[in-house]
Amino acid sequence: MAASLAGSGPSGRALVAIVLAVSALAVAAVQPAPALPPDTRLNVVVIVTDDQSPDSFPHDPPIMPKLQGMVEDLDDHWVSFPQAFVSTPLCCPSRASILTGRYDVHTGVRKNFDGDLFDPSETIAAWLREAGYHTGLIGKYLNGYPFDRAPFVPDGWDRWLAKEQGAQSSAYHDFVLIDQGFPVPYGAGSQDYFTDVVAGAAVDFIRSAPPDDPFFLMLTPTAPHRPWTSAPRHAGAYDEIARPVAPSIGESDVSDKPRWVQTLPQPTRARRAQLSDIRRRSFEALLAVDDLVADVIAALSERGVLDRTVVFFLTDNGFSFGEHRWMGKTCPYEECIGTPLLIRMPGAQAREDPHLVSNVDLAPTIAQLTGISLSAPMDGLSLVPLVDGSSVEWRTAVFLDYVGDAQVPGWAGIRTDDHLYIEYVTGERELYDLTGTLGSADPFQLDNRAADPAYAVLLTELSAELNRLQPDA
């Protein structure tokens, strides 16, 4: 009988082995899992202002003294790009391009109220979140948000504190923020100033972000957008600041310009004084942004992550305060297409980089820095080789375009190191010799050389280059 039992089950030695194995599993089940190695991927902070004129940074004396002081500190790690441009000089299309690395014809966002056409699942935020990043947007999203829908959080964002569109008067006070999908009003009687609210929420985000995950934070104050309202503490700060007048302000002879410029009235002396004062107010509105940047850098340092965080600073488009008789954006001139572009990368040598760069370059740069894989193609180039000083072949022109409106006809163009070339849907063309390759230098775009026989060969070459760079719809 005993022999029968022994033969029907495991041997004594085997039974002991089974018991030991089960015991080992039980012990393993109650032991803490081995600690995962810390995620040391770079954090990313992107700060995007709204309608900042390119003459505001750098400036002498500094308009944003804290940021300009950091950038000029050779012991810091800021790289500035004096030849930086936005592919479409209009808020919503430019913001879509920043988020995707794609031109407006590829994002489908070509005007300010095309935001509802935007695909939020194909953005750098969505790709980073999928890769394990903690993501946040604080400030302005796309014009028109939430696009006549109930408040919502788009794909890709863990922390969402976005301004509801509201009236233009709500740019600084009396605004509504969509906080994780729920509207939170900030009343007209409140002391809350939008830029300061963004700054405070940014510091909270940095302090409270999960310690084991890298983060991506996009900060988008409305300053210095119209109505150009400064924080109360900065009112009148630049009453006495010198404001040089560009030769294109009050330009009397625009006969060589396209028809849309020729029909603009020449500003009177009173109008020029008004525009100068508006520019001054826009400068004052940037002082709170300057504080925001300093607060963000301080919060990163206090948390101990500044040495593994890349910080970007730019605007969504420039702004013309009367240059070429134009006030606003959407123009093809330097005042509209130019942007300050600053990148602080740990270990980078502080300097200016002269290469031609574009807002569509941000997303591919962030993708390379964070090592994520992309699910959609990009039109931009990674700026990493420029920031880290690598030797690299680079573009010779940046592509520019605007679909057009009732005032400014549609146009496409290119900006090279030396020239600005524009083709309009009307058949008109503009060519400016910025550095004087074939004549006098014309950095203020006063003399259109498109009809000058001396520039005929160059005109043909630039037209061919524009055709090459023109993206397929």
Any idea what the CATH number is for the domain that residue 462 is in? 3.30.1120
Give the separation between CA 110 and CA 94, rounded to whole angstroms.
9
**In DSSP terms, which residues pair with 401 in a beta bridge?**
412
Same domain, 128 and 85: yes
Gap between the Cα atoms of 432 and 261, Å rounded: 15
pLDDT score for 190: 74
Q: Tell me if 7 is assigned to some domain.
A: no
Measured distance CA(139)–CA(225) in Å, rounded: 13
**Mean pLDDT score, 349-369:** 98
Query: Is the domain of 389 the same as that of 412?
Result: no
Ranges of beta strands (E only) in 277-368 are 309-315, 320-321, 327-328, 342-344, 351-352, 357-358
The per-residue pLDDT for 10 is 42
The reported pLDDT for the residue numbered 23 is: 38
Give 315's DSSP letter. Answer: E
CATH (domain of 354) = 3.40.720.10
CA distance 473 to 470: 9
For residue 171, is it within any domain?
A: yes
**φ and ψ at 220, to 5 degrees?**
-135, 75
- Angle (CA) 66 72 78, round 5°: 90
Task: State the residue for tokens 């300009």.
Answer: 68
- Dihedral sign, CA of 337, 340, 346, 350? positive
Q: What is the pTM of this model?
A: 0.92
Domain boundary among 337, 358, 393: 393
Residues 441 and 298 in one domain: no
Residue 8 placed within a domain: no
Same domain, 329 and 435: no
User: CA-to-CA distance for 434 and 442, rounded, in angstroms?
Assistant: 4
> Domain end: 393, 418, 452, which one?
393
- Domain assignment present for residue 16? The answer is no
Mean of per-residue pLDDT scores for the chain: 92
Is residue 368 included in any domain, yes or no?
Answer: yes
Strands 134-139 and 397-402: unpaired
Domain-terminating residue out of 393, 415, 431: 393
CA separation for the pair 54, 59 (Å, rounded): 9
Q: Which has the closest alpha carbon to 408: 69, 74, 90, 1?
A: 90
Q: What span, in angstroms and rounded, lies between the C-alpha atoms of 163 and 141?
A: 7
In this structure, the answer to whether residues 408 and 382 fall within a common structural domain is no
Answer whether residue 17 is part of any domain: no
Would residue 24 count as lying in a domain?
Answer: no
pLDDT tier, 35 (very low <50, low <70, confident <90, very high otherwise): low
**92/184 same-domain check:** yes
How many structural domains compose the chain? 2
Q: Are residues 419 and 375 in the same domain?
A: no
What are the pLDDT digits (tens) for 184-237? 999 876 789 999 999 999 999 999 999 999 999 999 999 999 999 999 999 999
Domain that holds residue 441: 400-469
Note whether 249 and 314 are same-domain residues.
yes
Q: Cβ(344)–Cβ(77) under 8 Å?
A: yes
pLDDT of residue 12: 42
Task: For tokens 């569509």, name the residue.
Answer: 360
Closest CA to 471 of 95, 102, 93, 94: 102
Helix, strand, coil distribution of the chain in percent, nearest 5 = 35, 20, 50
Average pLDDT over residues 36-61: 93
Backbone dihedral region for residue 51 (phi beyond 0: left; psi -120 to 50: alpha; all else: beta): left
Q: Is the pLDDT of residue 111 over 60?
A: yes
Between 109 and 37, where is the model more confident? 109
> Per residue in 298-344, pLDDT tens?
999 999 999 999 999 999 999 999 999 999 999 999 999 999 999 99
- For residue 259, pLDDT over 60 is answered with yes
Q: What residues contact residue 70 under an 8 Å CB cut-off, 6+ apart?
A: 76, 78, 293, 297, 344
Whether 143 has a pLDDT exceeding 80, the answer reads: yes
Which two tokens mark 208? 């409270």
Alpha-carbon span 185 to 354, nearest angstrom: 44
Q: Are 84 and 48 in contact (CB under 8 A)?
A: no
> Residues of the chain with pLDDT > 90: what percent?
87
Statement: residue 30 has pLDDT above 90: no
């006070």: which residue's tokens?
173
| Residues forming a β-bridge with 124 | none
Residue 461 and residue 371 share a domain = no
